[in-house]
A and B are shown apart, each in its own frame.
Chain A
Amino acid sequence: AQTVTQSQPEMSVQEAETVTLSCTYDTSENNYYLFWYKQPPSRQMILVIRQEAYKQQNATENRFSVNFQKAAKSFSLKISDSQLGDTAMYFCAFSNSGNTPLVFGKGTRLSVIA
């Protein structure tokens, strides 16, 4: 079974600074998808960024980018120019190809400090 590990339960960052959230995963599959979801206090689950395992290029969405290291099974999220609205729980998630469910990590609670 696939597992997702987030080793940082809590992190904090100063406004406008850069922060990196770590995620590792375990799978024997070669084709899969990785995601970062943001869950603010409203508890809504919001997709931040998505990476396809067969693509070597790291995904980027505005201030959010990932460092995908397939051999190391690592998928970290970098948030640049952190904003107060980035304060949330961040979940790393994995899915196999096909209509398979997402598997989530335990989450990292990020606080952006003014």
Chain B
Amino acid sequence: AAGVIQSPRHLIKEKRETATLKCYPIPRHDTVYWYQQGPGQDPQFLISFYEKMQSDKGSIPDRFSAQQFSDYHSELNMSSLELGDSALYFCASSFQGGYYGYTFGSGTRLTVV
């Protein structure tokens, strides 16, 4: 079965640089969610999109933006990177939310040096 695909798997950036993370949800899933997980922490919700429209917003910094495209893939754009942005970034997708459950990608590990 198709899973949630994230790219790249690993990314190393310098402070003040820009990074773009990509997520390809499971086909026919209607909602995409982005999470940030720091070392030893629980995943923190950043932002979500339902049918290509922003639906919920969490603790996403103003330096970050995201969008969902016509083919349903989503991108998280991160600018003016800081050392504290180093984390594992997960994308998840769902169809009708919790009714059918949420499927997570393998994550993108971002390291800011």
Contacts and interface: CB of A to CB of B under 8 A. Distances in A.
B42 A32 contact: no
A44 B90 CA distance: 9
Contacts of B42: 91, 104-107
Interface stretch (B61-69, B71-79, B91-99): B91-99
Size class of the contact patch on chain B: 20 to 34
Given A91-B42, A97-B97, A102 B102 contact: yes
Interface of B, helix, strand, loop or mixed by DSSP:
strand
A56 interface: no
Contact of B94 (A32, A45, A99, A105): A99
B50 A99 contact: yes
B90 A101 contact: no
Interface string A23-40: 000000000110101000
Interface residues of A, number: 25
Q: Which of B58, B98, B102, B109 is packed against the most chain A CB atoms within 10 Å?
A: B98
A86 B79 CA distance: 38
A65 B41 CA distance: 25
B55 interface: yes
Contacts of B41: 106
Nearest to B32: A99
Interface in B5-42: 30-31, 33, 37, 41-42
Contact of B98 (A37, A43, A95, A107): A95
Interface string A78-114: 0000000000000100011111111111110000000
A95 B33 CA distance: 13
